[in-house]
Structure 1
Amino acid sequence: MSDWERSSTARVLPPARPRKLAKVPFVELADGRLQGVVSSGSDIERVYVSSVAAGTYAYACRTNNNRPCGGARGGFCAHIRALIGEAVLQYGAERVARCLRVETGADGPTAPSLTADMTGARPLPAGGDTAASVFSRFLRQLAYLELAATTAPLPEMQWFPPTRAVA
């Protein structure tokens, strides 16, 4: 058993390659989807919450004000393409392909080939969008960045509730 398996902390995988956070500040492979937050190219106060479902490649892209993206009609918009590109930088193309269940060619996946290989992509049906929960996790992550550096535990980051001594 290695040291990290005996410790009480989780192993953190380093990014496959460094990435710039200005365009896509938040990307995650979670809940059977690739999802994240993508900055608007035209309005500094607007971001888009984009996602692609594993296997079906159903996609969604909405603004932080819950308005649909104008470019996500009939295929992936620029925000979803940027999200896929940044996910490949963060997690590596093979891991993204595995998560999304994309069958790739013999040369191995790349961000453009992953996008091209997701044939049959279609918009998520009404009510299937998870933009609110993704945006909420992004805002929570931003709040942690504003905390002062400390070694004291954060109550909301503890996995188990405190136990009371039985008298």
Structure 2
Amino acid sequence: MTLEAAAATVRCRRTRWASTAALRLRHATVDLGDAVLEHPVSVCGHATPFTEDGRPLAEPGLTDPRVRAASLRGVDAAHLVLTDVDLTDCLFAGTVHLDQLRLDGLYRFATTPTGPRRGRRPPGPPLAGRAAVGLRAGRLSRGAGGGRSSRCGPYTGSSDRAAARR
């Protein structure tokens, strides 16, 4: 299937693509969130206006010819090809096989943040939540040996625990 469209928005959310497809778009923001791609699907930005019988078709109210991806959330990207698509505002969270996504032509990603960041601490041990904060504070106050806080009771060791089970 080949779809040629000049539109502001193309929503393909939760669609199932059971055969090969080519989406040739102009001016569009395309949303492929939770789409199921069983065969190769390509989304291409079309640089020139679409024609019919050799004459360009009218595109009233559409001024920006770029094609933008809004979401690939929940998509298996192994069968997806994006050509000349702006990815600056695209949501990639939950995309499967993102390493197999094929990008051709001109594409743009969002830039990384610059400047100082406020309210961020350097990364600590891989613990999270209030209990972890208390645990870290306990380790710091008792030195490198760690141990349990007084609320949890004294650390009894593995041999004392085995005796307590009997």
Q: TM-score, normalization: structure 2?
A: 0.22
Which structure exhibits the higher relative contact order, with contacts defined as CA atoms closer than 8 Å and separated by 6 or more residues? Answer: 1
More helix by proportion, 1 or 2? 1
Q: Which has the larger radius of gyration?
A: 2
Structure with greater strand percent:
2
